[in-house]
Structure 1
Amino acid sequence: MVSRSVIVTGGAGDIGLAVAHGFAREGAAILLVDARPAPDEALAALVSEGAREAKAITADVGDPQAVAEAVETACDAFGGLDVIVNVAGMMIYRPIVELEAADWRRLLDVNLVGAALFTGHAFRRMKPGGCVINIASVHARRTSPLVAPYAAAKAALVSFTRSAAIEGKPLGLRVNAILPGAIDTTMLRDSPNIRSGAEVIDPADLGQPEDVAALAVFLASDAARFITGEDIVADGGRMGRL
C-alpha cells in the first residue's frame, strides 16, 4: 500500500478514523472527507503513524459537487487516486408511519448515493489496480425496528457493490463491501434501541473499529486481488447463530 492515495469518507468518525490509521501504517496518502471538520491533531496522528500525507475536507457526501471536489482535491494533492473507502453513514430512529419523504431521501443520499457518486469518479480517475470498499451493515441482511431507511439503503449499497464490481472489472478495478455488526462506536452507543434496552448486545459480539479497518486494508491489498463483488460480514459470528 506504500505510496497509494486513499479517500476515506466519514473520516472524522470512529470507523473512518480507524480505517485511515490502518492505511497510514501502510504509508498511504490520505484524504478524510466528513460533514464534520477533522481536528488538526487527527491529521498529525496519521502522519506520525506513517501516512505519506494527510489532509481533510468538510463535505456533504450527498452533494454531487462536493463529491467531485473531494476527488479533485485528492488527485491534485496526491497525484492520483488508488482507493476509496466509503464509510460515511447516518441513521434515524423512527417508525415507518412517521417517516417523511425527506427522511428517506436524506438517508439514501448519505448511505447510498454518496458512495455511488464516489465510485463513478473512481471509475473515471483510477488506474487499473484501484479499488472501492463500501462499508455497509449487517442491517442489509437482518435488521431491527425503527431503522427502515438505513437498512434499505445499506441493502441497496450491497446490491450496488455487485453491479459496480461487474462494471469495474474491465477497467481493472475492484469493488467490495464490508457488513459490520455491532461495533463500539458513538453511533452505536447513542442508539435509542441500545439506550432503552430494546436491543441488548453480548460483549462477546461487540467489535472494535479496528476490526473493520483491518478488513478494509486487506481488501485494498494485492493479497485480495482476486476478490471483487463480495459483501463480507464482520460481526463476530453474531448472525450465524440460531
Structure 2
Amino acid sequence: MRFLNKTALVTGGLGGIGLACARQLASEGASLVLADLVADRAEAISDELRSLGATTVLFARCDVSSEADVVAACDVATNQTGRFDVLVNVAGMMIYKPIEDLTGDDWHKLLGVNLIGAALFTREAFRRMSSGGAVVNVSSIHTVQTSPLVAPYAAAKAALGSLTRSTSIEGVAKGIRANAVLPGAIDTPMLWASPNLKSGAEKLEAADVGQPENVAKAVAFLASDDATFITGASLNVDGGRLAKL
C-alpha cells in the first residue's frame, strides 16, 4: 500500500498503459484522478478501481494539449482530494506519415499531445505538490531508436526525455522527483495499428511484446518512496529489445 493517503493523477488513464498504471496505483491504495479525452468507460472503470483498493476515483475530461483542460484536471485533484502527490504522464498519440507528407498541423497536434501536455501538467505539479511528490513520464524507446513514418512521435518522446531531466533538476529544491520509463513494444491498440508491422517492414517476436502491466509496475516503483534516491533517470521497459537493435 505504497500510495495510501496519496493522490495520483494519470493522463490517458482510461485505456492502454494509462489504465494499467491506474490499476496498479489503485491496488496500492491511491486516490486517483484520471484525465482522459474519452469518457464512455469512466463509470465502469471507476467501479473496478475502487474494487482494487483505490480510496477515491475521479474523472476529468481533458484534452492534454489544452492549457485550460490541464488546469481544470489538476483542480479536481487538489480541490476534491486536498492533495496532489503523483503525476503520471501517459497520454499519447501517433500518426504514420513520411516526413515529406507531414503538415504543420500534424506536427503541432503530435507535439501538443505527446510533449506540451506533459509540460503543462508538470508546471501544475510544481505549483501544487508538496515535498515528496513524484512525476513519471511514459516516454518510449523511440527516444533512442526509431523507425520510419513516426518522426513527430519520436521527436516528441525524445524531447520528453529532456523535459524529464529538466524537471528533475528544478524539482530538487521543491523535493519533487522526476523520472521516465521507456516502453518498447507493448500489447496495446497503438502498437498493432502500426503500418510498419502490417506491411512486414518491422517484425516482432513474441518475446519482444510486453504487457501494459509491465510498464505500470515500473511506473509505480519510480513514483513510490522506494525510489526516493532516483531522479532524472530513464528506465527501459522493453524486454531487452533495445539492447538487440
- Which TM bucket (shorter chain)? over 0.9
User: Which residue, 108, 111, 125 being the options, matches 1:105?
Assistant: 108
Q: Distance in 1 between matches of 2:168 and 2:111?
A: 20
Matches within 5 A, 1:165-176: 165-176=168-179
Name the residue aligned to 1:22: 24
Q: Distance in 2 between matches of 1:178 and 1:84?
A: 13
Residue identity over aligned pairs, in percent, reads 53
User: Which residue, 207, 210, 233 being the options, matches 2:210?
Assistant: 207
Residue identity in the other structure for 2:10: V
Name the residue aligned to 1:2: 4
Q: Structure 1 residue 182: deviation in Å?
A: 0.2
Q: Distance in 1 between matches of 2:159 and 2:232?
A: 14
Matches within 5 A, 1:108-123: 108-123=111-126
Q: Distance in 2 between matches of 1:13 and 1:187?
A: 11
**Cα deviation 1:26-73 (Å, max 9, x = unaligned):** 110101111111431111000000000111121100000000000001
Q: Distance in 1 between matches of 2:162 and 2:25?
A: 26
Quote the RMSD (CA, aligned, Å). 0.8
User: Which residue, 48, 51, 75 being the options, matches 1:48?
Assistant: 51
Report SS of the residue matched to 2:74.
helix
TM-score of the superposition, structure 1-length normalised?
Answer: 0.98
User: Which residue, 143, 146, 164 being the options, matches 1:143?
Assistant: 146
4+ residue runs over 3 A deviation: none
Q: Distance in 2 between matches of 1:147 and 1:13?
A: 21
Q: Distance in 1 between matches of 2:66 and 2:144?
A: 27
Q: Distance in 2 between matches of 1:9 and 1:197?
A: 32
Q: Distance in 1 between matches of 2:195 and 2:80?
A: 40
Name the residue aligned to 2:36: 34
Report SS of the residue matched to 1:24.
helix
2:173 matches 1:192? no
Report SS of the residue matched to 2:77.
helix
**Cα deviation 1:216-241 (Å, max 9, x = unaligned):** 11001111000001111110001112
Name the residue aligned to 2:97: 94
Q: Structure 1 residue 196: deviation in Å?
A: 1.9
Unaligned runs of 5+ in 1: none
Q: Structure 1 residue 191: deviation in Å?
A: 1.4
Report SS of the residue matched to 2:185.
coil
Q: Distance in 1 between matches of 2:110 and 2:199?
A: 23
Q: Distance in 2 between matches of 1:114 and 1:98?
A: 24
Residue identity in the other structure for 1:4: K
TM-score of the superposition, structure 2-length normalised?
Answer: 0.97
Report SS of the residue matched to 2:28.
coil
Name the residue aligned to 2:156: 153
Question: Number of matched residues?
Answer: 242
User: Which residue, 111, 132, 136 being the options, matches 1:133?
Assistant: 136
Name the residue aligned to 2:66: 63
